[in-house]
Amino acid sequence: MSKLRFESVKETMGREPVNVAYVGNRAEIFAKHVFGKEAMQEFLDKEVYEALSEVMITGHKIDRKLADSIATGMKNWAMQHGATHYTHWFQPLTGATAEKHDSFFEIFPGGQAVEKFAGSQLVQQEPDGSSFPNGGIRSTAAARGYTIWDPTSPAFVYGTTLYIPTIFISYTGEVLDYKTPLLRSLTAIDKAATAVAKYFDEEATKVIATLGWEQEYFLVDRALFTSRVDLVTTGRTLVGKDAPRGQELDDHYFADIPQRVMGFMRDLEITSLSLGIPVKTRHNEVAPNQFELAPIFEEANTAVDHNMLLMKVMKDIAHKHNFEVLLHEKPFAGINGSGKHNNWSLMTNTGTNLLNPGKNPKDNLEFLTFFVNTIKAVNEYEELLRASVASAGNDHRLGANEAPPAIISVFIGSQMTQIFEEIKGVAKTDKTKHDETLNLLERIPEIKLDKTDRNRTSPFAFTGNRFEFRAVGSAANSSYPMTILNMIVAKQLELFKKEVDTLIATKKMTNENAILKVLKSYIKDSDKILFSGNGYAKAWEKEAKKRGLSNHKTTPEALNALTDKKTINLFEGMGVLTKREVHAKYEVEMEIYTTKILIEAKALTDIVMGQVVPAAIKYQKELANIVKNMNNIYGKDAKKYSKESLDLLKQVSEDINMIAEGVRKMQKDIKKSEKMSLEAEALFLAKEIKPQFDVIRKHADKLEGLVDDDIWPLAKYSEMLFTK
């Protein structure tokens, strides 16, 4: 490491003490900073507590008087936990969470100072929303937006602030956030899934979607991070030569967690637990300095809020340990990227996991119903599901030589594949007699989570009692993919129920036979989406094309699925978004994409022209001087001695020229793109501009290998990835 760069990190290297003070066991800490059941009971009157508990389940409106009592109780509780301020916490379409803090402090007209929190302040606020993306919605309405309390996700205290989870809508009631569509999709899946679950269980009156996310991330030393403009402004390295020791040794996964990292993890876990985030698993990931954190799964709305909160807390705690946490999907070229697997299932109020194979044929028929309908839904809407995970960052994973591919397919494992084959076989030999299939259902085994059988390249895999949507990016707000998944499965279950009911009514079939008949037809219909081979292989791309599956490798291409008629009908039909809201969402996504690529272009230019080229020129000058001196000393024999320097000079000079030329061309092309429509611009940036980054980068990385380490201005991969 150059002396310059070493000075910047030596302070923090290996700094964490091994033993730390005992802070209590984890069950004791859990949810201490959450306004949950216990706190509510203590700080609210009995009737108020009961009314609020009801609202937390139903999400129904709360009357103003009740709101005043809740607000006062919440404030008193929060102040006991050190809160002086409160904030409506929301999830605008920027991707990050937003907050604006107000203190409880107020002065009454008589001059008396008090701490006050009124019901109206709890229920609704009017943040200055003009800086949040809205896809043209607000420019046509008033320039105002409202945040409205979401009582289904509990409030909490973080630092000195009471956080109140809220939705964010425009003055005219249109969606401006991630949470509202998610809540609507949860209502849709509840309704549709409960109706179907009733075939099997009279007592089923509610179905929730469950989500367990697995958050992958990188840690780098903060001093090194800060020294890199590209990391600071774009979250990823735009230049940087492969580390000599990359993933070749594969010894990182499940290896010892370094001490400083362990200190960070422990702090993070304790803070997360106190906030009610049920974190449970931590381990190294495949790449150096890459890690994963997974909680116990929860109801999807809470799980999403908890993931958003975790990503925020991670940053704060990382800073405390002089780390920076990288949530970008691909911070380092040539090194494994980060995802956020979304484990998803459905659960009834009676405690049944609807994707868990049962112990008898009846339970298995219920399992099979939800299993097959989910697959059918993905089969029908694979393109929309792909669109739900599209982002500039995730383009570096999906379809870019990294798991999973951009093609959405479903992996169900060998046991379920065989059962599908058998069910299809029965259908062939007999039209109405389903006893054979029922016998077959008896044989659905308990599906073991067999690590060796799990296809790591599949974007959507059945893992024994849930589906695992692996195409979600590490930086993403899981709301959106979960909204789409809930919505398409809800739609599918509605269709299913209609078909089954028709068979029962018109063909006088028993419930079981009608269900089986429809499931058989769905299994046959879903052939195209099932795939258990290697998702990396070129052959799969060919095969998928033949099957008619989409394969969108860039965000602008993937997003097109949002605006087609089938999608809009679906959104409107399921009550998740209106046509106007879908268009706004599309526009916002496209805008975010183009903005990100343009920021990257600017950062790349700054870094190569402001740091890489000047360093190379310094070195060029040194080399030129050597060659000149050699000539002076050796005269016509000089060539013999300065051959290497001359060679190096030539290479360095060539790379400098190529970079300058590349940047000029890129600038010219970006100028061209400024006159285009949003769609054309986004596509142009994806197809024409972004590939130019790689050309420029290639020469910058070559220079990194040539220029004297002592004058190289940027932290190197080996330093960022192996500094513990």
296: partner contacted, choices Mg ion, ligand ADP, none (Cβ within 5-8 A by kind) = ligand ADP
CA dist., res. 9 & res. 227, Å (int): 11
CB of 684 to Mg ion, least distance (A): 36
434: partner contacted, choices Mg ion, ligand ADP, none (Cβ within 5-8 A by kind) = none
345: partner contacted, choices ligand ADP, Mg ion, none (Cβ within 5-8 A by kind) = ligand ADP
CB 536 within 8 A of CB 459: no
CB of 24 to ligand ADP, least distance (A): 23
* Closest residue by beta carbon to ligand ADP: 212
> Which CB atom, from 293 or from 588, has the smaller least distance to ligand ADP?
293
Q: With CB under 5 A as the contact rule, which of the stretches 228-236, 244-252, 339-347, 368-376 interacts with Mg ion? A: 339-347
User: How many contiguous H segments (helices) and E segments (strands) does the chain have?
Assistant: 26, 17
**Pick from 65, 105, 59, 61: nearest CA to 83:** 105
CA dist., res. 37 & res. 563, Å (int): 43
41: partner contacted, choices ligand ADP, Mg ion, none (Cβ within 5-8 A by kind) = none
CB of 326 to Mg ion, least distance (A): 20
CB of 265 to ligand ADP, least distance (A): 15
CB of 297 to ligand ADP, least distance (A): 3
Which residues, 6 or more positions from 707, have their beta carbon under 8 angstroms from its beta carbon?
Answer: 615, 616, 619, 652
226: partner contacted, choices ligand ADP, Mg ion, none (Cβ within 5-8 A by kind) = none
465: partner contacted, choices ligand ADP, Mg ion, none (Cβ within 5-8 A by kind) = ligand ADP
> Which CB atom, from 5 or from 470, has the smaller least distance to ligand ADP?
470
- DSSP state letter for 661: H
Q: Is 466 in the site for Mg ion (CB under 5 A)?
A: no
**What H or E segment, with its residue span, contains residue 219?**
strand 207-221
CA dist., res. 57 & res. 302, Å (int): 12
Phi and psi of 242, rounded to 5°?
-45, 140
Binding-site member from 75, 138, 340, 341 for Mg ion (CB under 5 A): 341
Three-state SS letters, 482-546: HHHHHHHHHHHHHHHHHHHHHHHHHHCCCHHHHHHHHHHHHHHHCHHHECCCCCCCHHHHHHHHH
CB of 371 to ligand ADP, least distance (A): 13
CB 98 within 8 A of CB 127: yes
CA dist., res. 151 & res. 166, Å (int): 8
Which residues between 151 and 210 bind Mg ion (CB under 5 A)? none
Q: What is the CA radius of gyration of the chain?
A: 29
> Which CB atom, from 343 or from 437, has the smaller least distance to ligand ADP?
343
Q: Where does this chain bind ligand ADP (CB under 6 A)? A: 210-212, 214, 281, 294-297, 341, 343-345, 353, 465-466
> Which CB atom, from 241 or from 341, has the smaller least distance to Mg ion?
341
CB of 557 to ligand ADP, least distance (A): 29
> Which CB atom, from 340 or from 699, has the smaller least distance to Mg ion?
340
H helical segments located in 278-434: 300-320, 361-387, 413-429
CB of 216 to Mg ion, least distance (A): 10
Structure tokens at 624: 């030129």
| Chain contacts with Mg ion (rule: CB under 5 A) | 214, 341
